[in-house]
Amino acid sequence: IDLYMLHAPSKDPAKLKLGWSTIEALYKEGKVKAIGVSNYSPEQLKQLFDIATIKPQVLQNKFSVYHPGEHDIKDTSILQYAKEHKIHVVAYSVGNAWPYFLDPLEDPHVLAVAERVKRTPYQVLQRHALQMGVSTLTRSSVRERALENKKLFDFKLSNVEMQLLNGLITLSTSVDETVFGPKFCADIYKL
């Protein structure tokens, strides 16, 4: 087995310890090549580190231009936190709107970048994640989308395009008169 993961954090410390120690045992026995977790925040990773003898090597989280790697955006980036702890981040559902209302595949900023680079919005979102240093899980039952997935490495987004997409974090987390821009993200839209 290449990768064995805990799918979600447990609120019960005893269950977390049992689950993680079981995964660590499989790793130590050579039955799995790598171990990881999914859907963890920095705080939940800290709790895991307190009981772990082996840190996770992989963190698989929902990733989009609105919330890159975590649902509840804070000033500390999960991507930076994972990097500091030598944990590789894998993104899933880069084209999924949840928990926001605007589908990133229909976001006018994403559409503008896609038109500029002559790619589909889905390819732009996948490439954005890759350029953020994140691996992506791609899958599709739609043939055209599956073929699009093969064409992510023959183009790059410019620094300006990356900044435009990264700035969507501030746009999506700011409501009414309240502007929230996490410290790890520049307010390029001057909110």
Mean pLDDT of the chain: 87
CA proximity to 57, closest of 43, 70, 40: 40
Measure CA of the first residue to CA of the last residue in the chain; give whole Å.
Answer: 47
The number of angstroms, rounded, from the C-alpha of 169 to the middle of its chain's C-alpha atoms is 13
Read off the DSSP letter of residue 33: S
What's the pLDDT score for residue 2? Answer: 97
What's the pLDDT score for residue 189? Answer: 56
Q: Which contacts of 47-50 are long-range, i.e. CB under 8 A and separated by 24 or more positions?
A: 47/9, 47/13, 47/16, 48/9, 48/16, 48/20, 49/85
Beta bridge partners, 90, equal 60, 135
Q: Give tens-digit pLDDT for 12-52.
A: 999 999 999 999 999 999 999 999 999 999 999 999 999 99
Consecutive 10-residue runs of the chain (191 residues): their mean pLDDT? 94 94 98 97 94 97 83 73 96 83 90 97 96 90 86 95 86 57 59 53
Whether the CB-CB separation of 126 and 88 falls below 8 Å is answered with: no
pTM, rounded to two decimals: 0.86
